[in-house]
Amino acid sequence: MPETAKPRVAVIGLGSMGFGMAMSLRRAGLEVTGCDVSADSVKRFVAEGGKGAATPAEAAKSADIVVSVVVNAAQTETILFGKDGVAETLAKGAVFISSATMDPDVARRLAKQLEETGRHYLDAPISGGAQRAAQGELTILASGSPAAFSKARPALDAMAAKLYELGDDAGQGAAFKMINQLLAGVHIAAASEAIAFAAKQGLDIRKVYEVITASAGNSWMFENRMPHVLDGDYAPRSAVDIFVKDLGIIQDMARSQKFPVPVSAAALQMFLMTSAAGMGRDDDASVARMYAKVTGTRLPGEPK
């Protein structure tokens, strides 16, 4: 592209996060082509004034920047190197921004594989919900070569309120994200254990929420997720199975490094138990509901 032209961006994955990110990119004046396995999502984006594409290859054909917004490493690899994948058409020198949470070793492998073909790879997991995605106010934990950062910057600026530049190597962003997920997962499980145990004691759990959020036992996740339990509302903002995946990656990483992580191992079992009980696609605060069901403890909105 000429130096003065706005870069063209392809967004692959128009779910609750990707759609908001694509809209933030458009608001910043970039030309954005959206692509999703759901044709309806693409239609919706086109109705908002975006461009649509049928495949990642088609979306990437004229892009300077590709933003991949899918849930895991396998989907990212398919988008890159599968049939009709980005690597078939993306111009040399363009950059691929990967936002999925994954094992740092896998991020390094995907980056190496793409960079050997003359394109850049930015390892850039995201934090913040759908609302912050739509507002262009995500936190992005990024690592990659200076060239990858430089190419990606117009898109990063449009999507992030807070950009952490965590080193030259792909994998660093992923590693920071995994540490965050370890903590976030344990805190959801602990919050669930605590609130259900409090209900079992007969405590008023609204009062528990008030006391804990003002005390040393507070966590970001306790404060953010426990209102779902107070309201008995388990419509998924983020699903149980996301942490089945992410705490699973932690276990894989830790086992391969011979590093014991018993606290997050226990938390993973609680997410697995909740998923096994049929709540895998429900909101991750459903772990509290699982504790309550198992122990015959009454929570708001649950049958006696």
Q: Helix, strand or coil for residue 72?
A: coil
Of the candidates 287, 293, 283, the one whose C-alpha atom is nearest the C-alpha of residue 189 is: 287
By rule CB under 8 A, what count of residues binds a copy of itself?
63
Q: Which of 87, 183, 230, 299 binds a copy of itself (CB under 8 A)?
A: 183
Q: Which of 43, 44, 51, 200 binds a copy of itself (CB under 8 A)?
A: 200
Tell me: does residue 224 bind a copy of itself (CB under 8 A). Answer: yes
Q: What is the dihedral of CA 227, 188, 77, 145, to 10 degrees?
A: 100
- CB neighbour list of residue 26: distance below 8 Å, 6 or more residues apart: 32, 48, 49, 50
User: Nearer Cβ to a copy of itself, position 16 or 139?
Assistant: 139
Tell me: does residue 181 bind a copy of itself (CB under 8 A). Answer: yes
Tokens 């276990």 sit on residue:
251
Question: Residue 177 catalytic?
Answer: yes
Contact 172, 117 (CB under 8 A): no
Distance CA 291, CA 293 (A): 6
Tell me: does residue 270 bind a copy of itself (CB under 8 A). Answer: yes
Active-site residue, from 83, 177, 207, 245? 177
Distance CA 281, CA 23 (A): 26
Tell me: does residue 101 bind a copy of itself (CB under 8 A). Answer: no
Binding site for a copy of itself (CB under 8 A): 104, 127-128, 139, 141, 162, 164, 166, 172, 175-176, 179-184, 186-187, 189-191, 193-194, 197-198, 200-201, 203, 207-208, 210-212, 214-222, 224, 250, 254, 257-267, 269-270, 291, 294-295, 297
Q: What are the residue numbers of the active site?
A: 177
